[in-house]
Amino acid sequence: MLTCRDVSSLVIDELCDQAGGRNATVACFYFDFTAQEEQSPTSMLGALLKQLVCGLEETPEEISRAYQGQRNAIGGRGPKLSDIVKMMQTTSSKKCTFICVDAMDECAAGHRVKILDSLNQILERSPGTRIFVTGRQHIRPEIRRCLAGRVASVSISPKRDDIIRYLHSRLREDATPDAMDSSLKADILKKIPEDISEMYVRATILGELPQVIH
């Protein structure tokens, strides 16, 4: 209903809408625990760099040189993590840059440390770069540790308006509208937001939000 994924996509769209006006580039990445193997530090940061390069009119010389250079190796060779970090440091300082990373907790733990550390190195060289991260609460200490002193946090929980908007949209999609009368509709819109808000308060006290409530 209101998930981190929704929030990431909302923020990415908002940043993209404004990007033209302030000459900024937005790069995004969605982690997925079913794709942990292919979402390695190099392919993840490479995918961010790729989007930054797309936002520039010309490919930075440093990157074309690295690309031409590896072609001489037998069968070609992918870029190394340290090279990608260097290329990102220069590319992100050329233009106002936003990086959005969704579901950081779904990244394999060993990869995550390397990725957070690389992001920190990028910020050191390009402090105007903004990084937006979502994930479950349990990785918060790790994020704060790796990106020392640069992190602000916000808790995402659906507000009453979000719940009502969501219910309205589900009611509009109702495949059997005849079974719905106005009093049932009114009850749904009144009861569910109340129950959910209460559920959230309890869940927050317990520390972790429930995954499924039937």
Instruction: Please report, as residue ranges, which positions from 11 to 40 form the binding site for another protein (by CB under 8 A).
Output: 11-15, 22, 24, 28-30, 32-33, 38-39
Distance of alpha carbon 98 from alpha carbon 17, whole angstroms? 12
Task: Tell me: does residue 96 bind another protein (CB under 8 A).
Answer: yes
Task: Tell me: does residue 123 bind another protein (CB under 8 A).
Answer: yes
Provide the b/e sequence for 82-116 (b: ≥16 CB within 10 Å): ebbbbbbbebbeebbbbbbbbbbbbbbeebbebbb
- Of the two residues 20 and 149, which places its CB atom closer to another protein in the complex? 149
Distance of alpha carbon 135 from alpha carbon 155, whole angstroms? 10
Q: Which residue of 81, 85, 86, 105 would you call a contact of another protein, by CB under 8 A?
A: 105
Q: Which of 113, 111, 128, 122 is nearest to 84 (CA)?
A: 122
Distance of alpha carbon 213 from alpha carbon 199, whole angstroms? 10
Q: Which residue of 50, 94, 145, 191 would you call a contact of another protein, by CB under 8 A?
A: 50
- Of the two residues 54 and 186, which places its CB atom closer to another protein in the complex? 54
Tell which positions 175-194 bind another protein, by CB under 8 A: 192
Q: Which residue of 10, 109, 184, 186 would you call a contact of another protein, by CB under 8 A?
A: 10
> Hey, is 28 helix, strand or coil?
strand
- Of the two residues 103 and 114, which places its CB atom closer to another protein in the complex? 103
Tell which positions 134-163 bind another protein, by CB under 8 A: 134-137, 139-140, 143-144, 147, 149-159, 161-162
